[in-house]
A and B are shown apart, each in its own frame.
Chain A
Amino acid sequence: MSHRFCYAAFVLVVLSAATASAQAAPQPPDAQALRSAIDDLKKDFEARLSALETRLAAIEGGQQAAAAQPLPAPPPPPPSPAGEPPSAATFSAPQGSANAPDGAASKVFNPDMAVIGDFLGTAGRVHTDPANNITPAPAFEMHESEASFQAVVDPYARADFFLSFGEEGVNLEEGFVTLTSLPGGLLTKVGKMRAAFGKVNSLHNHVLPWADRPLVIKNLVGGEDGISDAGVSVAKLIPNSWLFLEATGQVFRGDSGSPESPLYQTSQRGQLSYVAHLRGYQDLSESTNLDLGASWSRGYNATGLPQDIDNLTTRLIGFDATVRWKPLRRSIYHSFVGRSEVIWSSREQPDGLQSGMGYYVSGDYQFARRWFAGIRFDGSDRAYDSSLHDSGGSAILTYWPSEFSQVRGQYRRTAYAIGPAANEFLFQFQFSIGAHGAHPF
């Protein structure tokens, strides 16, 4: 015991001498060997100390977790409750080895979880006309809180769930399984999903370059919810030597659209809706690429139901084009995305066929690492009465404090078919916690 004490005292003396000498001026060469020996000793000492500290922290962490449980009953020691934030021990598990602590082992298979908040503020005067689908957004709104759960199911599939919470109520935005390795190069999704109609329809709110969706989507393609339904999607790459070509076919139950902008509604089991999409993509250079698409969709609408007519359909045809520019050497500072979609709608109604058309064109330029400026022009006939035409324009400024949050301001002027034009300012604040999601392309 006293020997050990002596040894520790010696180490301390040597260490303090070493640190003192380290601050002093250059040493004679014969001291070098001694110094390196002491350095080794010091390193060893520090390594042991930090190892002990880590163990102590792990033990204390365990105790805190135990203390946090409300019941006085003696808690079972190591396996901590699932869903608890990752403890220190989880991350200090060395080199991805399998000998993770007991508590972490049960969490390994938890899906990647994230929550994205989307806060929306709106200012400006707008003429209220609920009969014509003009309902102004409130001044402040926690527009959406999207929770995602994503993980690999087994060697053949992965699953993705996106639950969209409004201020009241929950909606399954998407929930599907993707079969990743079917023969014949078929990529198959089964579940509820946003359909592959054009570009914007398949995008979640938080990856849009705007705070809202363009008029053409609101008027013709089911509004914010868009074509989003339960069904099966099959996508196949068409081999050729020129470009990336992907054909997607989707079959859905037949219910799509938002309450304020209904699109498809099924009244019988056989009234399915369909979406077909062809996408061509080509790199024009290392920094520039072009993405073109053609889409078709058909489903039954509900306009005849009050008169007991249940076989009226809506057909949509769309073309989309996206050009992207991003110089690789400065890819985090500058980029440009130009996009456009044109969509035609033919809607059978008890009073006859309504054929309308709408479009948007937009450009977003990243002028600094965290700053984006954008502009958008959009216009659309209304699906139920194509003689009514709305048009609008927006200017958008977006700032990214980090990869995980985003502040956006958008000035929007809309000339509605009926009533005075609306000048509005939209403010959007988005923030994301949890697993690091993939960047949209």
Chain B
Amino acid sequence: MNRKLLISMLGSMLIAASAGAQSKLNVMTTTEDLAAIAREVGGDRITVEAIARGYQDPHFVEAKPSFILKLQKADLLIVVGRELEIGWLPPLVQQSRNGKIQPGAEGYLDASLGAQILEIPTGQITRAMGDVHPLGNPHYWMDPENGKRIGKEIADAFDRQRPGNKAYFDQRLNDFTTRLDAAEKKWLAMMAPYKGTKVVTYHRSFPNFAERFGLEIVGYVEPRPGIPPTPQHTLDLITEMKRQNVKVMLIEPYFDLKTPTAIGRETGARVLVMPPSVGGVKETSDYFSLFDYNINLLVDALKK
């Protein structure tokens, strides 16, 4: 009698465990930003992990075999797309032995498809322009409006993968969108007095952010995307910054500060290390704090 009870208890526990394991969607993302949004939408019904850390240059990630092991078990792979990951993701996905996450398969989601993409080149492009992205600027998550669009894409993918949890994911997406709307209003209000402020950035990481929050990017520390600063370009930039009275430079955390600091000394512009990604600095632990941190950083600098 006791034994029967024990067996049935064990059996039901096993079933419960396997059902639980089955319902938890295993999500891999290429960046921490996508992981943060997936976490907002997926809640406790998913596990999610990012390949690249927020403080590393997402163009240059090493294709470590340890990532293959993680991709092998993934149900869903969410990528930034627009060729951001072209230098490192294809070999990882190929070696993952996971048919679900191959490009074009059900478990492969390009988060850029619903987003507003800037700087899509028109006309002939060549590599004389540097490492240009022919499909447009891939740093599109730096606009909360795109954050909502990415959230929607991710929720749709979750729904397809786990139709049983559709109501849960949709409710969480709603909640995320509502909170993001409120936060965006607050951020826009904070930035409103500084509309039209001219800035210089290192790489083209902030066009969406600048457009949303009314900054005007007038130059780059890099002469061309992916090409490190040259003395001539730096001199030209200093002249231009003086002419246009640029007082703020936004530098991604993974770039060397030597040239930006020198330019700042010459022009009187403040050098702000501004993370373009969740996890870029320790204060930016989720999608909301990414904007909170950056906007506070900017407002503090512009107030002075």
Contact = CB atoms under 8 A, between A and B. Distances in A.
Interface in B86-112: 86-88, 90-91, 94-95, 97-99, 102-105, 110, 112
A365 interface: no
Contacts of B216: none
Interface string B62-103: 111110110010000000000100111011001101110011
A403 B103 contact: no
A196 to B, nearest CB: 12
Contact of B60 (A85, A178, A186, A331): A331
A403 B227 CA distance: 8
A128 B209 CA distance: 64
Interface string A137-161: 0000000000000001001101000
B226 interface: yes
Contacts of A441: 62-64, 88, 91
Given A329-B55, A331-B254, A438-B91, A152 B99 contact: no
B104 A94 contact: no
A237 B97 contact: yes
B18 interface: no
A438 B87 contact: yes
Contacts of B61: 331
Main secondary structure of the interface of A (DSSP, over half): mixed
A156 B64 CA distance: 24
Contacts of B105: 155
20 contacts: A86-B134, A91-B120, A155-B102, A180-B94, A181-B98, A181-B99, A187-B95, A237-B72, A244-B65, A282-B66, A283-B64, A283-B66, A289-B64, A328-B53, A331-B57, A331-B62, A403-B87, A438-B90, A438-B91, A441-B88
A57 interface: yes
B259 to A, nearest CB: 11
B99 A88 contact: no
Interface stretch (B121-129, B170-178, B243-251, B284-292): B121-129
B283 interface: no
Contact of A436 (B83, B102, B104): B83
A420 B91 CA distance: 45
A49 interface: no
A88 B122 contact: yes
Contacts of B135: 91, 96
Identify the interface centre among A246, A328, A333: most chain B CB within 10 Å of its CB.
A328
A351 interface: no
Contacts of B56: 328-329, 331
A326 interface: yes
B228 interface: yes
Interface string A321-340: 00010101111110000000
B60 A439 contact: yes
B66 A281 contact: yes
B130 interface: yes
Given A283-B66, A438-B90, A441-B64, A369 B228 contact: yes
Contacts of B110: 96
Identify the interface centre among B53, B56, B86: most chain A CB within 10 Å of its CB.
B56
A155 B103 CA distance: 9
A178 B97 CA distance: 10
A244 B68 contact: yes
Nearest to B93: A180
Interface string B109-153: 010110001001111110100110011000000000000000000
Interface in A396-438: 402-404, 433, 436-438
Which 5 residue pairs across A and B have the least CB separation, nearest first? A181-B99, A328-B56, A244-B65, A281-B65, A441-B63
A185 interface: yes
A118 B131 CA distance: 21
Interface in B6-55: 53, 55
A286 B97 contact: no
Given A155-B99, A155-B102, 19 more contacts: A57-B123, A92-B121, A95-B117, A96-B113, A156-B99, A178-B94, A180-B94, A281-B65, A324-B62, A329-B254, A330-B256, A332-B60, A333-B256, A402-B130, A404-B131, A433-B127, A439-B60, A441-B64, A441-B91
